[in-house]
């Protein structure tokens, strides 16, 4: 049976719980129960149980019979794997873009500058969520510029993991968003002159800073 929104109860339970895990409202290490979620969403426990099973399959929850579900924290090995995948995909996109005609680079550069403007506004407003979303858009724009649907699909599959990592990184202090913005600007500057080596170096600096911010090393 579907609700007014057109979504089934289990889909609403799944989306709500997943959203709260991804935005940090339910941080890694928290133990949640079917009853808590069911009460919050005013539904029975059955659709919540089905949602929990789906989230466990995605690696976001670990179920413990009769106790509840543990929100799985982002592990160091997962962070390393995601950053390695990002460097491969984004580095390829940067190399391909720098080899493209100047007018093509200018179009992508304009899109990236627009994202940087959004990040500056979010930083001024201290809107962490908007800043994180603009950060995601910056990197997706880079990957889209390669015009490779397979790489884009691969990159999209990292979205959930990146959201959790980005929010955790931004929580490290007020200087972190400013550093991210400066690193993005350096990447765009290198793209502007078509310097692929410098662009990849700036990308690595940016990803290494993310590694240090998330993992402390």
What's the CA gap between 111 and 114, in Å, rounded?
5
Q: Is the pLDDT of residue 83 over 70?
A: yes
Please report which confidence band the pLDDT of residue 66 belongs to, taking 50, 70 and 90 as the band edges: confident
Residues 153-181 have a mean pLDDT of 78
What's the CA gap between 194 and 108, in Å, rounded?
12
Q: Is the pLDDT of residue 96 over 90?
A: yes
Q: How many CA atoms lie within 13 A of 77 on its CB side?
A: 0
CA distances from 108 to 78, 88, 105, 146 (A): 30, 19, 5, 10
Write down the pTM of the prediction: 0.78
* 3-class DSSP state of 216: coil
At 197-214, the pLDDT tens digits run: 999 999 999 999 989 888
- For residue 99, the tally of other CB atoms under 10 A from its CB is 11
Please report which confidence band the pLDDT of residue 4 belongs to, taking 50, 70 and 90 as the band edges: very low
């Amino acid at each position: 049976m579907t609700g007014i929104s057109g979504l089934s109860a289990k889909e609403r339970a799944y989306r709500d719980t997943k959203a709260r895990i991804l935005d940090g409202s339910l941080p890694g290490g928290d133990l949640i129960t079917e009853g808590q979620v069911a009460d919050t969403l005013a539904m029975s426990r059955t659709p919540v149980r089905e949602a929990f099973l789906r989230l466990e399959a995605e690696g976001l929850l670990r179920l413990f019979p009769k106790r509840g579900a543990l929100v799985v924290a982002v592990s160091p090995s997962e962070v390393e794997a995601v950053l390695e995948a990002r460097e491969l995909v984004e580095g390829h996109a940067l190399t391909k873009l720098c080899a493209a005609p100047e007018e093509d680079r200018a179009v992508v550069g304009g899109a990236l500058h627009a994202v940087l403007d959004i990040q500056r506004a979010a930083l001024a407003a201290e809107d962490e969520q908007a800043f994180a979303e603009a950060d995601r858009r910056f990197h997706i724009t880079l990957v889209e510029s390669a015009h490779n649907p397979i790489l884009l699909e691969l990159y999209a599959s990292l979205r959930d993991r990146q959201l959790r990592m980005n929010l955790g990184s931004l929580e490290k202090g007020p200087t972190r968003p400013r550093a991210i913005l400066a690193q993005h600007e350096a990447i765009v500057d290198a793209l502007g002159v078509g310097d692929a080596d410098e662009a990849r170096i700036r990308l690595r600096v940016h990803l290494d800073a993310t590694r240090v911010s998330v993992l402390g090393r």
